[in-house]
Amino acid sequence: MSTFVMGCCRAYRRIARAFPHQYRAICGDGLEQLGEDLVPRVWQQQGVVGLIRLFGDLALRLPCEHFSTWADRLREATMADDFFEGTWRARQSEASLWKVDRPAPQQAYLRFEPTDTGYLMVAYGVVNGEACAERPQAIIADGRRRPLLDLSGRPIPGVPAGAMTFGSRPDPQTLELGSEVDGQVLGAGRYKVSADGKTLTVTNEGSGPKGPFEVVMVLERVVPDPYRA
């Protein structure tokens, strides 16, 4: 391989490393390896004209990817799409309350992913120094009552047979959820996003296998969202 071609390969790698972190996290080392593979072949088949086109395409793509990353962050910061969508991180505050017969988490996160019928809510965090996650929950806030089942339509261990779940959305920034069986309340939750869209207050209370429980958490929106490609 000639010195000129080797220099072109190095230049391609340097430009590839200038792409946004999110883009490179998806591509891995593929973009840099692409230069190693393409530059010699383009030089052999198309000469200088081919190399100009190759580097031209890369140079045009670079600002486009940076602009796309910036636009995604701006959209998340301004809450242009949805009040709940995204990842939320619990913060320690006087407003928080933990009255459950199990250890309080050292870290707690909620993630809301939009679906055709509402949201998929995932809760995870760290308890006693170990990572843990709760069962994903489908949220359909249309006021209708439905059997309380898992995402596959099967009964949930520990949930009484015949339990029903329901949800409503009094306003765009509030979700209210509940579950009951034979007229007895199993749980009730309220999720309220602040007016500026930066904090989420969660209130859950009810009766579980180990007795009554009550949880109040204040969470902050994580920006940029770590799960957004």
Q: What is the pLDDT of residue 194?
A: 94
Cβ proximity of 195 and 173 under 8 Å? yes
Question: Encoding tokens for residue 118?
Answer: 């509402």
**The pTM is what?**
0.62
Per run of 10 residues, the mean pLDDT along the chain (length 229 residues) is: 82 80 60 75 86 85 79 56 88 66 81 92 90 92 92 88 94 94 91 93 83 87 78
Q: What is the pLDDT of residue 120?
A: 95
Cβ count within 10 A of residue 207 = 12
User: What is the chain's alpha carbon radius of gyration, rounded to the nearest angstrom?
Assistant: 25
Cβ proximity of 225 and 87 under 8 Å? yes
Q: Cα separation of 155 and 194, whole Å?
A: 35
Please, which residues have CB within 8 angstroms of residue 225's CB and are 6 or more apart in sequence? 76, 86, 87
Cβ proximity of 219 and 89 under 8 Å? yes
- Taken in order 149, 153, 157, 161, is the CA torsion positive or negative? positive
Q: Cα separation of 186 and 169, whole Å?
A: 20
Which of these, 72, 111, 106, lies nearest to 88 by C-alpha position? 111
Q: What is the pLDDT of residue 79?
A: 44
